[in-house]
Amino acid sequence: MEEQGMPTGKKTTKKKRLGKGLSSMIAKPVAVAVAGSKSASTVDTAIQEPSSGGPGLRVLPVGDIRPNRHQPRQDFDQAALETLSESIKTSGLMQPVVVRADGSAFELVVGERRWRAAQMAGLTEIPAVVRDLDDRTSAEWALVENLQREDLNPIERAEAFVGLQDEFGLTHQEIADQVGLTRSAVTNQIRLNDLDDGTRELVRTGSISAGHGRALLAVANLKKRLQLARDAMRGEWSVRALEARVQESTGSPESKPSSASKSGVATQHEELARQLGEHLGTRVRIREGRKKGSGHLVIEFYSLDQFDGLMSRLDFKQEG
């Protein structure tokens, strides 16, 4: 069940994170009572309607608010919504949602479950903090709220991270700084986006873990990969057990020594790509070529600014 509160972050951090900004937006809770409820609470006097219609704490019609197009959570637990709705019917809505202006209406930034549950409870108006936010900040705040409550499944989290990367040009390090994770954790999470649809769905529903999903990325044959994923689910294999099966599956019985050697080289390349990716703050891939000792080094970038940053990290200076 969602608590009727804003996400809170650690008070002392070395790097500025969005969680602290979210928790400090509102000084105290407010309450909106539902007609006919036992609660005698009314809208707190702290809610002030700005004369200019600009940022501030206001009461808004629920019909004037629409969902956040950058909302990372895709699945809403109906039972949890009903429980939250009953809580609102009994005690009122104790915490405002956060919105930003969108033409004549408003777009949710934080609190979509509260907004949905409030409608189910019969509220026609809810308290809302109106903020002046750009697309990137809105997407980041929506992600941070869900991460702090651990509401997102691994695939939703991976898709949210890659959205920040592709749409706003954030590096893995910048994403890590904002959400309070290590750069390698962000990189590993984003790798789940490379899974096929069938395996992704098993990770999304929790049938197998994110660790299982990353282990299965080593299986190039999609049919074989999905079969292994289903076997892992039915057999309740550990990640290590699955990794052993993956190695067996990708090995070549006809030329075991050669296969073992190639596996070692591939593992070394994967580790080098991971380390270089962490150093550059972006995704790096190393692919072996047909000729022994040849290959391809792929360094991804998602904006011209990020490209310039990569050139700087590589100490490359263009002539002329």
Catalytic positions, written as ranges: 112
Residue whose pair of structure tokens reads 């409870």 in the numeric block? 121
* Nearest by Cα to 306 from 163, 140, 170, 161: 170
Three-state SS at 232: helix
Asked whether the beta carbons of 23 and 6 are under 8 A apart, the reply is yes
Angle, alpha carbons 76-77-83 (nearest 5°): 120
Question: What are the structure tokens assigned to 177, written together?
Answer: 């700084």
Give, to the nearest 10 degrees, the angle between helix 304-313 and helix 256-280.
100
Q: What share of the chain is helix, strand, coil (3-state, %, to 5)?
A: 50, 10, 40
- Phi and psi of 62, rounded to 5°? -60, -25
Beta-bridged to residue 61, according to DSSP, are 125
Asked whether the beta carbons of 234 and 242 are under 8 A apart, the reply is no
Three-state SS at 314: coil
Gap between the Cα atoms of 23 and 98, Å rounded: 11
